[in-house]
Amino acid sequence: MAGGKMKKDKQKGPRAPSNHYQGGVTFHKSKGQHILKNPLLVDAIVQKAGIKPTDTILEIGPGTGNLTKKLLEAGKMVIAVELDPRMVLELQRRFQGTPFSNRLKVIQGDVLKTDLPYFDICVANIPYQISSPLTFKLLFHQPAFRCAIIMFQREFAMRLVAQPGDNLYCRLSVNTQFYARVFHLLKVGKNNFRPPPKVDSSVVRIEPRKPRPEVNHKEWDGFIRICFIRKNKTLGSIFKQKNVLSLLEKNYKTLQALQGSQNVSLSGNDDMEIARLGDESMEMDDGMDDDMDMECDEAEGEGEVSEFKNKVISVLKEGKFEEQRASKLSQESFLTLLSMFNKAGIHFS
């Protein structure tokens, strides 16, 4: 047009589909389906796993099999657990008629509800919403495996490896490192996946401790759960809270009654019905709830101080833990304090 600029009509092509495809399979972000597309990253994960030719490998969330192929090349057998029936069919189609077909076993189902067979190594690119329960399912799997190489959301991974004094050090850090040695291996950008997730990821190596620590895991978890009610408060202030003292005193009296009438020992009795603070299992700990939404009234100003409260505080003072904070305590310190409480007849499960 004279005196102006001619606008070119934009060619409107078909709108890009909201889901992503590979081999005709649609990936759903809502289901946590993010497939590794970077072959160099796949190779790096396999190399970090240290797979032996005699190894049986458990792969969780194989998707369309990009990582599965490399695992089959490196090990003796791959057991792949996949929830999505479409992915199961794609895996079977991909390896049917190949030399790998007899060395791949595909289990369709929810890995959290599946009885896992024997394996030497676990490799997993998982939906991030199952990170915590899957981690503890693996840690309590018997017989113990050599290591697990798992892709986690980056913040979750950094909580796993956090050390005392780190900002991300939490109940998840303590529980995981109590049962395993944990190493951060790789930071993985979101663009290495199809479709890309909203956050970056990290690859972590988990090696179960052998032998497993000889501690009643319900007792340990109940104790750690209380210590991390407010991880930056002193243990003295936490153990003076009304709800904490009430719970521990109830356990104390119940155990005294049981031991007096039946000579029951707590240490080997996982089935005893004892009160606990918080939810039921460490398997559901995502590390995000260190500052639980709980009443924090201290049992102060109530007139006569209870004999049981004196008993609890005397344990803390004896071990010089009264002014310590959970956010800065090591595994050894937690074990020492738990042992002191138990010797005083104070239990947490």
Whether residue 82 is annotated as binding a ligand: the answer is: yes
Helices (H), the chain: 39-49, 66-74, 85-95, 131-139, 154-161, 171-179, 217-227, 235-238, 242-262, 307-318, 331-343
The answer on 123 and 97 residing in a single domain is: yes
The pTM of the full predicted model, rounded to 2 decimals, is: 0.80
Q: Give the pLDDT confidence of 23-46 residue by residue, as tens digits.
A: 455 554 444 456 777 899 999 999
Residue 99 belongs to a domain: yes
Instruction: Please report whether residue 6 resides in a domain.
Output: no
Please provide the DSSP assignment of 16-47 as one string: PPSSEEETTEEE-GGGT--EE--HHHHHHHHH
Where is the domain boundary, 208, 232, 251?
A: 208
Residue 165 has pLDDT above 70, yes or no: yes
Q: Is 337 annotated as a binding residue?
A: no
Flag whether 63 is marked binding: no
Domain that holds residue 242: 215-259+302-348
Are 165 and 245 in the same domain? Answer: no
Residue 284 within any structural domain of the chain: no
Residue 80's CATH number? 3.40.50.150
Asked if 166 and 241 sit in the same domain, the reply is no
Judge whether 24 lies within some domain.
no
109-125 pLDDT per residue, tens: 999 999 999 999 999 98
**Residue 281 included in any domain:** no
DSSP state of 15: P
DSSP state letter for 85: H
Asked if residue 16 belongs to a domain, the reply is: no
Do 219 and 152 lie in one domain? The reply is no
Of 70, 155, 154, the residue nearest 104 (C-alpha) = 70
Flag whether 274 is in a domain.
Answer: no
- Considering the domain architecture, whether residues 151 and 247 belong to the same structural domain is answered as no
Query: Who's near 85: CB < 8 A, 6+ residues apart?
Result: 108
More confident residue, 261 or 270: 261
* Annotated binding residue 34: yes
Residue 8 is assigned to a structural domain of this protein: no
Calculate ∠ Cα 229-157-90, nearest 5°: 125
Q: What is the CATH number of the domain that holds 222?
A: 1.10.8.480
| ω into 62 cis (within 30 of 0) | no
Mean pLDDT over each residue of the chain, to the nearest integer: 83
Number of compact structural domains in the chain: 2
